[in-house]
């Protein structure tokens, strides 16, 4: 079994083309210098998806993340890029929100990045599961049942997060490769977002649905997708569930918020209000 990562982790929610806000956040976090180059050493940046659409600089925000991903690797840092529902819609050739030129060529770029593992559906540091919108317990049970033929002793509520995350990413990679992005429940759209699924998969589940789930909190999770429209993260079940999407894009209020997990496991919320950044310890490790 892999050991949990004890590096400094910075988690940033949905960007939606808000390049200026994103660079302000990661500069404040000490991840980039004045020239927007990686300066985070071996820190880990986890971005929860929905980099594109809404705001004016979708392609530029993606390009910055791609460059930082390469630069961070040189200093043994890591930039984790998760796929959001907006990236997923683009791959499905649903361009209704695309506000940039030649979205079809972007589809090919995304598919290549997914095939290389540069863009993922899931990530874990061994302590928490990171996805775009969160994993409901009903979907988790389906995943565990699918894995049991190979791992017959798997238990739904006590599962190796590395094993679970790897399996989710395998489904994601294979489904994108086969152009089959509707069949598996992780892709299903919940009723709140116009779909027919009662729960919604990891790209679509709303925070209200996730927080009301009886057992979703049994796996500590961090995700985005549901904008809080406040300069703070939203939590439930003793911070077992944390929504980091404060609404960075001006469409959702232009909030500046990010979450930091220290090597010791402390959770720090960084937020900007009236041009001033403040840091609050929201949970001791």
CATH label of the domain that carries residue 120: 3.60.21.10
CA–CA distance, 148 with 134 (Å, rounded to integer): 22
Does 3 fall in a domain?
Answer: no
Does 4 fall in a domain?
Answer: no
Does 21 fall in a domain?
Answer: yes
Q: Dump pLDDT digits (tens) for 239-284.
A: 999 999 999 999 999 999 999 999 999 999 999 999 999 999 999 9
Q: What percent of the chain has pLDDT over 70?
A: 99
Does 112 fall in a domain?
Answer: yes
Does 210 fall in a domain?
Answer: yes
Does 25 fall in a domain?
Answer: yes
Q: What percent of the chain has pLDDT over 90?
A: 85
State yes or no: pLDDT of 1 exceeds 70.
no
Does 1 fall in a domain?
Answer: no
Per the structure, the complete domain to which residue 248 belongs is given by 9-283
Per-chain mean pLDDT for the chain: 94
Q: How many domains does the chain have?
A: 1
Q: Dump pLDDT digits (tens) for 93-132.
A: 999 999 998 999 999 999 999 999 999 999 999 999 999 9
Q: Do residues 256 and 271 touch, judged by C-beta distance below 8 A? A: yes
Kindly indicate the confidence band of residue 3, based on its pLDDT and cuts at 50, 70 and 90.
confident
CA–CA distance, 14 with 48 (Å, rounded to integer): 6
Kindly indicate the confidence band of residue 38, based on its pLDDT and cuts at 50, 70 and 90.
very high
Strand ranges for the chain from DSSP E: 9-12, 44-47, 78-82, 119-120, 123-124, 129-130, 221-223, 234-236, 241-243, 257-261, 267-273, 276-283
């Amino acid at each position: 079994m892999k050991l949990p990562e004890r590096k400094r982790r910075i988690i940033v929610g949905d960007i939606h083309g808000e390049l200026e806000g994103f660079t302000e956040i990661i500069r404040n976090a000490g991840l980039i210098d004045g020239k927007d180059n990686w300066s985070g050493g071996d820190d880990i940046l986890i971005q929860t998806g929905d980099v594109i659409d809404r705001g004016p600089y979708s392609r530029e925000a993606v390009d910055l993340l791609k460059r930082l991903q390469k630069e961070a690797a040189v200093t043994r840092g890591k930039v984790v890029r998760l796929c959001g529902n907006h990236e997923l819609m683009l791959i499905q050739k649903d361009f209704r929100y695309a506000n940039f030129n030649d979205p079809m060529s972007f589809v090919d770029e995304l598919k290549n990045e997914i095939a290389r593992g540069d863009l993922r559906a899931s990530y874990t540091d061994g302590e928490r599961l990171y996805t775009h919108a969160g994993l409901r317990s009903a979907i988790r049970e389906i995943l565990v049942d699918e894995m049991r033929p190979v791992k017959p002793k798997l238990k739904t509520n006590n599962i190796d997060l590395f094993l679970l995350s790897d399996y989710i990413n395998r489904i994601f990679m294979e489904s994108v490769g086969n152009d089959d992005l509707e069949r598996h429940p992780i892709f299903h759209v919940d009723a709140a977002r116009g779909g027919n699924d009662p729960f919604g998969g990891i790209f679509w589940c709303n925070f209200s649905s996730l927080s009301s789930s009886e057992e979703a909190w049994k796996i500590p999770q961090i995700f985005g997708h549901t904008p809080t429209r406040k300069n703070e993260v939203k939590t439930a079940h003793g911070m077992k569930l944390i929504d980091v999407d404060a609404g960075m894009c001006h469409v959702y209020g232009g909030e500046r918020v990010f979450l930091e997990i220290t090597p010791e496991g402390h959770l720090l919320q960084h937020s900007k209000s009236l041009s001033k950044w403040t840091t609050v310890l929201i949970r001791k490790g």
